[in-house]
Every structure is written in structure tokens, then in C-alpha cells.
Amino acid sequence: AKFKTQPLLKKGLEYYFSRDFTQAIDQFREAIIIDQKDPVLSLFLDRAQNYILNPPPQDWAGFEKLQQK
């Protein structure tokens, strides 16, 4: 399944890192239809959905700070 979702994940990440969260969500959702168990897809989908509601700061580089270990 990872092989089938790889192009969608790659395109979704391109949108995600360019701050086009709506397009990123579309790609991640399409990939999740193929592989519902991939935690990476779910993680980025959740983050992109959150960023639509709460946009990251202008200096955001696409990374999250860990709040706990």
C-alpha cells in the first residue's frame, strides 16, 4: 500500500510545505482511502486540517516542536 500512496504523499507534502493546506488535505485523504492504517498520512492530514483553522506563523518552516517525549 505504501508504494501506491507514495505519489499522493509526496504531492501532499509539497502542498503542505508550501502552506497550501486545502490541496494537501485532498492528497492525504485520497491516500488514506488506499491505506487507512498509515499513521503518517493521518498525522499530516490532522496537522493540515489544524493549520486551516489555526495558521502557522509566517516564519514556519514546516516542523513541529515536540511538547513531550
Closest CA to 43 of 28, 30, 65: 28
Closest CA to 9 of 22, 29, 53, 21: 29
The answer to whether residue 68 scores a pLDDT higher than 60 is no
Number of neighbouring beta carbons within 10 Å of residue 4: 10
C-alpha to C-alpha distance for 41 and 39, rounded to whole angstroms: 5
Instruction: Dump pLDDT digits (tens) for 11-53.
Output: 999 999 999 999 999 999 999 999 999 999 999 999 999 999 9
CA 59 to chain centre: 18
Higher pLDDT among residues 7 and 63, named by residue: 7
Does the pTM exceed 0.75?
yes
The band of 66, judged by pLDDT with boundaries at 50, 70 and 90, is low
